[in-house]
Structure 1
Amino acid sequence: MTTNPPPADPPWQKLSAREAGLPVDETLYDGVAPHMEAALRDWIYTNVTEQVAVRVLSKLRISPHGGQGEARRNQLAHSLFRKELLDVVDCALSLNLAADARAAYERLELKTRYPEPFVDPVARLSEVLGEAGSAYQVRSTEDGLERVVDATVTEAARKAGETADATGRSVAKARLRAAWLKAYALHPDPGAAYADALRAVEDVACPLFLPSNSRPTLGNVRSHLEQAAHKYELVIQDENAVPASVDTVTAMIALLWHGHRDRHEGGPSSAPISEEAAKAAVHLAATLVQWLSAGVVQRKTP
């Protein structure tokens, strides 16, 4: 028997706003807004060890101001410009900060029965970012920051990858996850995100529609569906209460394929992929991966 989780607490509002009947302020702030600066600096100073601080300075190409050990940690927490703080946090997370902190506490607790409760650095950081209305959150993998996206949308993309994986298409799951991370990273890589999104769909579509093709591409799949549309149908019914045609799926695949404008250089229509296009491609790919993996497109019975 399963039970429903308790309802989430309503977002906090200032007393004056509650009494005035104002809506909840759901503004998300890019970068480091002034009101979140102190909390971020405190998190960095509290959770970034001296050893990690040295590596963060190196990876971010920041010259040390002098001194050793504690001076490096102080430099990261207190001497950098406000706009640099999210880069410090993102970099520290990429260096396995969370796992190292947990392991260090466990060693200390086993050795000395340390009485103080463990404060998880990722949980505390999530609180800091959430309470301040940051446009960024900690990735589920705890190895960096990503843009805040509606939880329902995030879950739909995750589910698409799981569905593909369950049907033996683990590459599609990995590519879709990589595309998401690159599209919503603190410093996005739109071109790479788009390419991974397209390849996620290829991993599911090519063996489904072109099992005997030795060098299939999503473009080949599009051409095949255009020419052999009469052989397929959707599980969704159309206005005549019969299985709908595959035209919608074909159009979705064509859009993803043609939108990959940086695939080849030198052509008249070649162009860089924008952040907005990359995000759209990731969500389009998630839908296609889910549909094709779940059997939404079926061969017509003779």
Structure 2
Amino acid sequence: MTDPENPDWQPLSRRHISTREQALLEGVPDHLVRPLKTWLAKYLADHPKLTERVALQTRIALDTPDSEQLVEAASANDLSVLLDVVDVVLHLDKGLWWELDVAGPEPTMEAGMAEWIPDFSWPKGSKAAAVERLDEMLMDAGSAFEVDWLQRCLRRRVDATVASAAEQAMSKDAGTHLRAAWAATYGRHPDPAKAYDEAIRAAEAAAIPIVLPKGTRETLGKVHAHLRDAGDKWELAIDGTNDGSVAPLTEMIGLLWKGHVARHAGSPAFRPQRQDEAQMAVHLAATLVHWFSTGAIRPRRRSQA
């Protein structure tokens, strides 16, 4: 049965357009201005303390902590500031945090009646329900941004399957660094250097305890050197045609480590990391974290005679 909420569905006039041509929209396009302003004003209504904190963090001067005044001031010169305001609202609202982390959604009475009816939903009138509506609004408008429910902020929209895989990796011990790398890559204000730094740290946190557990000052570079020189002691879960050789893994780690050109300021190879490098590094690190934390990379078992 087709899911009517499928985000891949397109109106008739756009169904023939390839995914590559369906570019997501940066900033706040005209058709999103009114809905976004209405959502913000309603969400912040009767919350003067939160409104004032948001105004302070976004450097917007207000005569009084009024939500409508904040919305109008934010959109006066640059409409994209509205997205910054939304981003800060999601990050500062402790009431939303409580609903997401403690209270949680409620079972739906209609659960099981149809495939498209969810088993759980946010209570009507809750902040989480309002944020869910915001997420739908951004998706319907073709915005390049969506709600990051884990980090409680906005992030750049990525493929749902890729995002889900990354979120699973973030639940591992290296998840703190991976979450920071993800936020620095896909947040409202990307920071490629920080994203790459955190991607390296995430891979190190996952790999070092497995490959070099007795070391005290190990790096991803040393993990790479060990696997390159002593690869016959290790194997991958996939045997393939090369008997589980870790050569592909070694190449991946080498790519991530050697591509970190911004780690040594002053060296001949130093230059700022690019955004496309950071994106690739974060997803590569997520794969490495998953492999190391699930036993896909392990000491080679003795061959059976």
TM-score by length of 1: 0.81
The question of 1:54 aligning with 2:52 is answered yes
Deviation by residue 1:166-194 (Cα, 9 ceiling, x = unmatched): xxxx2x12211221122110111211111
Q: Which residue of 1 aligns with 2:141?
A: 132
**Runs of at least 5 residues in structure 2 that lack an aligned partner in the other structure:** 104-122
Whole-angstrom CA distance in 1 between matches of 2:148 and 2:55: 22
Whole-angstrom CA distance in 1 between matches of 2:227 and 2:11: 56
Q: After alignment, is 207-216 or 22-31 more displaced?
A: 22-31
Residues 60 and 70 in structure 2, CA contact (< 8 A), matched pair in contact too: no
Whole-angstrom CA distance in 2 between matches of 1:140 and 1:238: 38
Residues 154 and 188 in structure 2, CA contact (< 8 A), matched pair in contact too: yes
Residues 96 and 143 in structure 1, CA contact (< 8 A), matched pair in contact too: no
How far the C-alpha of 1:155 sits from its partner, in A, is 1.0
How far the C-alpha of 1:27 sits from its partner, in A, is 3.8
Which structure would you say has the larger Rg? 1
- Matched ranges for 1:211-230 at <5 A: 211-230=213-232
Q: What is the aligned counterpart of 1:89 among 86, 90, 94?
A: 86
Residues 41 and 71 in structure 2, CA contact (< 8 A), matched pair in contact too: yes
Give the superposed CA RMSD.
Answer: 2.6
Whole-angstrom CA distance in 2 between matches of 1:100 and 1:222: 40
How far the C-alpha of 1:97 sits from its partner, in A, is 6.2
**Runs of at least 5 residues in structure 1 that lack an aligned partner in the other structure:** 1-5, 107-115
Percentage of matched positions with identical amino acids: 39
- Matched ranges for 1:133-148 at <5 A: 133-141=142-150, 143-148=152-157
SS in structure 2 at match of 1:267: coil
Whole-angstrom CA distance in 1 between matches of 2:9 and 2:166: 29
The question of 1:118 aligning with 2:125 is answered yes
SS in structure 2 at match of 1:133: coil
Q: Which residue of 2 aligns with 1:270?
A: 270
Q: Which residue of 2 aligns with 1:75?
A: 69
How far the C-alpha of 1:36 sits from its partner, in A, is 0.6
SS in structure 2 at match of 1:145: strand
Whole-angstrom CA distance in 2 between matches of 1:187 and 1:291: 30
Q: Which residue of 2 aligns with 1:159?
A: 168
The question of 1:45 aligning with 2:52 is answered no
Q: After alignment, is 55-64 or 275-284 more displaced?
A: 55-64
Q: Which residue of 1 aligns with 2:195?
A: 193
Q: After alignment, is 55-64 or 23-32 more displaced?
A: 23-32
- Matched ranges for 1:173-188 at <5 A: 173-188=175-190
SS in structure 1 at match of 2:262: coil
Residues 201 and 288 in structure 1, CA contact (< 8 A), matched pair in contact too: yes
**Residue 230 of structure 1 aligns to which amino acid in structure 2?**
D
How far the C-alpha of 1:232 sits from its partner, in A, is 1.8
Deviation by residue 1:27-64 (Cα, 9 ceiling, x = unmatched): 42111111111111111111123322221221111223
Distance 1:122 1:24, change over 3 A: farther
Residues 148 and 155 in structure 2, CA contact (< 8 A), matched pair in contact too: yes
How far the C-alpha of 1:12 sits from its partner, in A, is 5.8
SS in structure 2 at match of 1:138: strand
Distance 1:85 1:220, change over 3 A: same
Whole-angstrom CA distance in 1 between matches of 2:60 and 2:299: 58
SS in structure 2 at match of 1:63: coil
